[in-house]
Structure 1
Amino acid sequence: MRKISLTARLTIIFVLIMAAACSGITLTLYGALRHELIWRDDRTLINRAEQLRQLLQDGAKPEMLPLYFSRMVDTQQDILLIRQADGPDVTINQTGIRLTELAGENQPGVLHRQRTQQGEELTLLSLQGTSKGGAVTLTVARLARERAKMLEQYRRESLLVCLAALVLGAILSPLLIRRGLKAIGTLSKITAATQADRLSDSVPVNSLPRELLPLGEALNVMRSRLAHDFTRLTRFADDLAHELRTPVNVMLSQNQVALGQERSPEAYQQLLAGNIEELENLSRLTDNILFLARADHHNVALRKERFSLADTLENITDFLEPLAEEKGLRFVIEVQGDLCADKMLFQRAMVNLITNAVRHAPENTFIRIKA
């Protein structure tokens, strides 16, 4: 399965956030616009009803109100119904909507909303009034056609704007994200181009963005550790080659000389004994070097115990006493107290150290061990 790139993931997240933000903003503005339009239509309906009732109270005839009404409103979506107690109804209705009877209220501003058979929203207001002919019921109604068209246009335009914004964001966001991730590519190239002889060269963290500074600093720390370990490994290989070269050359020379002419079986036995001795020295040398390398890299499991330092050193010097007597050397131990450590590792380290001291010390001298 192909993995989705980081750029694609960030683009998807960015587009989803944009979609959520556009949806939230559009719905909020749509709700505010719809509320404002409804409030405006309601205030217009109430004001017109109040004006018509005031005309009736001032003596205008109900038959004349349609003339005033047609001048005040859009008859394509507004309805007027005047019911007289002692006269015919006066109606202006070009909408084709059948009015539902609604009992009039003496107080203005009591609105009633309902749905027509076609599903359109209809707002009605009925008021009780008086004229020279007696009591009248004034009903004013308005269909929400204009408001519905305006809201529909707003929804359509908002949808187009949101889609355009999402498409633009989907196109531009990968470009911007790639530009922002360019530093990661640069960091990858620097890391990929690292050679063994350039481990000490640090990554230029000054050119990295703030978010990548911890990564750059961590890479520099890692490169520094690798450079240090590589130097130690090189030195270890050099030391190992130097230590092995001498005994190997000696064995090679002895064997070449021995094979140069026929010799007695005793001579060959002596040569083999010398080879075995040199091989044993090589084996001990290899063990010591590997032990020091493992101990240096903390790969040795420690078994700590408390033991007498003086007794342990005396046992080691007794073991190396024959080697020291060949050069007339004497050991002087000036230590006391106990030590908490891995006794076996301590003994091996001290054997190596004292053996080197015996090899390089002048004849007929002292080897002093102090702690």
Structure 2
Amino acid sequence: MSWARPVSLGTRLAILFSLSAATVFVAAGGLIEASVERHFVEQDMEVMTGKLDLVRHAIKKVRTEADLASLDERLGDAMVGHHGLEVSVRNMDGRVLFSTLGEKDVHPGLVVSSPTQSPRPEKWDDEQGQMRGFAASADTSRPDSAPLVVTIALGIDHHEQFLAAFRSSLATTLGICILAVSLLSWGVTRRALRPIRDVARRAQTISADRLDERLHMERVPKELFELVEAFNSMLARLQESFVRLREFSSDLAHELRTPLTNLVTQTQVALSRERSAEQYRETLFSNLEEVERLARMVTDMLFLAKSDNGLLIPNTEEVAMGEEVRALCEYFEPIASERGIKLMCSGEALVIGDRAMLRRALANLVSNAIRHANAESAVEIGISHRSDSVQIEVCNEGDTIPPEVLPRVFERFYRADPARTRDSEGAGLGLAITQSIIHAHGGSVVAQSDGRLTKFSVALPTTTRSN
């Protein structure tokens, strides 16, 4: 199934900038057009209200019926020379008293208009073109006389033609501006995003054998600092993981090679000539030891693989850690007494967890402490309560572990002194298994070494939880 390639960030920014600019330009164009049109309306109203004042002044002089009869002549003289302006005067009965129209009628566009003291312009189309006008009332000086209705209309074709041309020019200008802003936005965003492309190109050159390279921070914009720092941190973690993986692969090959070489050598020696049944039995016993060693190693590796994949789920039962520690001391007593090492245990605590797993973790710590303790010294296992956890400490006197080595003692197959023999040191998985078990119970284990005293501290929550 193929997916369409997503739109680039630069294109998205250019489109957003263009849309924003288009919105602003269109809004500004609308405001400009409205302002120009309003200006023409104000001009027209200025002309028409001036004529309205003139007509009202003439009507105000009407005091008798004779004055009313002569109104047509007086307004006709006042309207001479005003082309495009149409004025009509009628009474409330609809009789036309004056009109600049040839038929002496009120303009059709204003027949239904209601006269007011404050006229409001209206716009309409007729056979003469586009018009704007209003109807207003005008009072006479005759007592008990109703006001007259004055209608004034002005042709605005020349204004509308100008506005049409103005709108066309404005639309063309806005289109060119929007196109220019779009092109500039594309260019600016492309230039602004160049550091991202540089980072991407440099990141593409980094491979598994070049994990020591880092992205340079000198020319990176401030907005990309966190991204580049996170990428460099990821490379550092990957480099560390790859180094450990290479060391792990090398150590694993070495651990497997020794028992396999012993098996092949002993079998070849046994088959080199005829031997007695007792000699064959001794060879088989020797081979069995190597096979058991391989089986333990494979079992430990499978255990750690389950832990890495979150499949190490402890049982939940109440475990008396004091009893488990005393049982371990009894078990290791013969081994410790051979070197004059005294095992000392103290404390009581209850935790919820997997009894077999916790016993195995503590056994690895005690075995490790006995192995590295000085002869005629003591190994102390203490249990104590903290605010929300149970603390188990395994201490021994021996060679101080260098500070740079302490963070790696829980790595698989890691040994602080590679010169030590494999037989005496085991496969190098004990502490890694201990850490996996403690983490599976929601706890932690740390190592400290100072002044020839080495201490492994295990912290287990009072209610142990699984992964």
TM-score of the aligned structures, taking structure 2 as reference length: 0.60
Letter in 1 for 2:345: E
Instruction: Tell me: CA distance 1:331–1:292, structure 2 relative to 1, closer, same or farther (3 Å).
Output: farther
The aligned counterpart of 1:286 is 298
Specify whether residues 370 and 108 from structure 1 end up closer, same or farther in structure 2 by C-alpha distance, changes over 3 A only.
closer
How far is the alpha carbon of 1:234 from its aligned partner?
A: 3.1
Give the drift of 1:255: 2.0
Cα distance between partner residues in 2 of 1:259 and 1:359: 37
Per the TM alignment, residue 301 of structure 1 is displaced from its structure 2 partner at its CA by 3.2
The structure 1 residue matched to 2:325, chosen from 313, 337, 348, is 313
Look up the equivalent residue of 2:298 and give its one-letter code. Answer: T
Which residue of 2 is the match for residue 117 of structure 1? Answer: 126
User: Any idea what SS the aligned residue of 1:42 has?
Assistant: helix
Question: CA 1:44–1:81 in structure 2 vs 1: closer, same or farther (change >3 Å)?
Answer: same
Q: 2:23 aligns with which of 20, 45, 53?
A: 20
Asked if the contact 1:205–1:216 (Cα under 8 Å) also holds between the matched residues in 2, the reply is yes
Give the distance between the partners of 1:336 and 1:138, measured in 2 at CA.
Answer: 112
Aligned to 2:12: 9
Counterpart selection for 1:259 from 245, 258, 271: 271
Q: Which has the higher contact order (CA 8 A, sep 6+)?
A: 1
The CA distance in 1 between the partners of 2:201 and 2:155, in whole Å, is: 69
Partner residue, 2:446: none
- Give me the whole-angstrom Cα distance separating, in 2, the residues matched to 1:323 and 1:107: 119
Distance in structure 1 (CA, Å) of the matches to 2:240 and 2:291: 33
Pair 1:78-2:85 in alignment: yes
Deviations 1:23-74 (A, max 9, x none): 22222222222222101111122224545787998x999599679743xx5x
Cα 1:244–1:315 shift into 2, 3 Å: farther
Matches of 1:63 and 1:312, distance apart in 2: 127
Partners of 2:376 and 2:98 lie apart in 1 by 142
* 1:108-187 pair list within 5 angstroms: 110=119, 113=122, 115-118=124-127, 120-123=130-133, 140-187=152-199
2 CA distance for matches of 1:114 and 1:188?
63
Greater helix share, 1 or 2?
Answer: 1
Residue pair 1:332, 1:368 contacting (<8 A) in 2 also = yes
Q: Aligned with 1:204: secondary structure?
A: coil
Q: State the shift of 1:213 in Å.
A: 3.0
After the TM superposition, which residues 345-364 of structure 1 pair with which residues of structure 2 at under 5 Å, given as runs?
A: 345-356=357-368
- Paired amino acid for 2:266: Q
Query: How far does residue 262 in structure 1 lie from its aligned partner after superposition?
Result: 2.9
How far apart, in 2, do the equivalents of 1:107 and 1:285 lie?
107
Say if 1:368 and 1:108 are closer, same or farther in 2 by CA, change over 3 A.
closer
SS in 2 for 1:120: strand
Superposition CA RMSD, Å = 4.3
The answer to whether the 8 Å contact 1:66/1:92 transfers is: no
Distance 1:62 1:311, change over 3 A: same
Instruction: Provide Cα deviations, 1:150-173, integer angstroms capped at 9, x if missing partner.
Output: 221221122112211222233232
Q: Distance in 2 between matches of 1:204 and 1:117?
A: 75
1:46 is matched with which residue: 45, 49, 53? 49
Q: What's the offset of the Cα at 1:113?
A: 3.3
**Structure 2 counterpart of 1:36:** 39
- Which has the higher mean CA deviation after the structures are superposed, 152-161 or 166-175? 166-175
SS of the counterpart of 2:153?
A: strand
> Match for residue 133 of structure 1?
none
Structure 2 contact 115–135 (Cα < 8 Å) conserved: no
SS in 1 for 2:343: strand
* Cα separation, 1, equivalents of 2:361 and 2:116: 109
Instruction: Give 3-state SS (helix, strand or coil) of 1:203's partner.
Output: coil
- Distance in 2, matches of 1:368 and 1:143, equals 113
Structure 1, residues 238-292: CA drift from partner, whole Å, max 9, x if none? 3323333332222222122223223334433332332122111122133335546
Instruction: Give, in whole Å, the separation in 1 of the partners of 2:18 and 2:32.
Output: 21
Tell me if 1:248 matches 2:255.
no
| C-alpha spacing 1:24/1:122, structure 2 compared with 1 (3 Å) | same
Any unmatched runs of 5+ in structure 1?
131-135
Provide the C-alpha distance between the structure 1 equivalents of 2:345 and 2:116, rounded to a whole number of angstroms: 117
CA displacement 1:206-253 (0-9 Å, x = unmatched): 533343333223223323332333333333333323333332222222
Contact kept in structure 1, 2:345 and 2:381, CA below 8 Å: yes
Gap change, CA 1:293 and 1:228, over 3 Å in 2? farther
Closer, same or farther in 2 for the Cα pair 1:238/1:369, shift >3 Å?
farther
Residues 225 and 343 from structure 1, CA distance in 2 versus in 1: closer, same or farther, beyond 3 angstroms?
Answer: farther
Does the 8 Å contact 2:18/2:181 carry over to 1?
A: yes
Note the residue ranges of structure 2 that are not aligned, 5 or more in a row.
62-69, 91-96, 141-147, 383-467
Change (3 A) 1:20 1:117: same
Q: Structure 1 126/102 Cα, relative in aligned 2: closer, same or farther at 3 Å?
A: farther
Matched, 1:338 2:341: no
* Shift in alpha-carbon separation, 1:288–1:124, aligned structure 2, 3 A: closer
Cα distance in structure 2, aligned partners of 1:275 and 1:237: 24
Across the two proteins, how many residue pairs are aligned to each other?
352
Query: Residues 296 and 352 from structure 1, CA distance in 2 versus in 1: closer, same or farther, beyond 3 angstroms?
Result: farther
* 1:323–1:370 CA distance, 2 compared to 1 (3 A): closer
C-alpha change, 1:278 and 1:111, in structure 2 (3 Å) is: closer
Quote how far apart the aligned CAs of 1:143 are.
0.9
Q: Distance in 2 between matches of 1:222 and 1:61?
A: 97
